[in-house]
Amino acid sequence: MDLKQISAFLLQAFYILTGLLMFLTAFMILKDKKHPTRLGSAAFWLILGFIFVAGNYVPYKVSGILLLAIGALTLTKQVRIGNLVAPAEKFRKEQSEKLGNKIFIPSILLAIIALAIAQFTKLDGKVAIGISAAGALLVTFIITKSPSKNLIDDSNRMMQQIGPSSILPQLLAALGTVFTTAGVGEVISGGISTIIPSGNLLAGAAAYCIGMAIFTMIMGNAFAAFAVITAGIGVPFVFAQGANPAIAGALALTAGFCGTLLTPMAANFNVVPAALLETKSKNRVIIAQVPFAIILLVIHIALMYFWAF
Q: How confident is the model at residue 42 (pLDDT cuts 50, 70, 90)?
A: very high
Residue 244 is predicted with a pLDDT of 93
Can you say how many angstroms the Cα of residue 131 is from the centroid of all Cα atoms in its chain? 18
> CA 126, CA 129: separation in Å to the nearest integer?
5
Percent with pLDDT over 70 in the chain:
99
Side chain identity at residue 95, one-letter code: Q
CB contact at 8 A, 217 and 270: no
- What's the pLDDT tens digit per position in 146-176? 888 888 888 888 888 888 877 877 777 777 7
Q: What is the per-residue pLDDT across 188-235, written as a single tens digit (0 to 9) for each?
A: 777 777 777 777 899 999 999 999 999 888 887 788 788 888 888 888
**CA–CA gap between residue 142 and residue 135 (Å, rounded):** 11
Instruction: Give percent of the chain with pLDDT exceeding 90.
Output: 33
Residue 78 in this model has a pLDDT that exceeds 80: yes
Taking only the tens place, the pLDDT of each residue in 106-153 is: 989 999 999 898 888 888 888 889 999 999 999 988 888 888 888 888
Mean of the pLDDT values across residues 15-24?
Answer: 92
- Domain ranges in the chain are 3-75, 89-146, 167-308
**216 C-beta neighbours (distance < 10 Å), count:** 29
The structure's pTM equals 0.74
Assess contact for 124 and 7: CB atoms under 8 A: yes
**d(C-alpha 9, C-alpha 123), whole Å:** 11
- 198 or 68, which is more confident: 68
Q: What is the DSSP letter of 231?
A: I
pLDDT grade for 1, boundaries at 50, 70 and 90: low
- Specify whether the CB–CB gap between 287 and 242 falls below 8 A: no
> Which residue from 52, 42, 43, 44 is spatially nearest to 20, judged by alpha carbons?
52
Listed residue (133, 119, 158, 172) closest to 11, CA to CA: 133
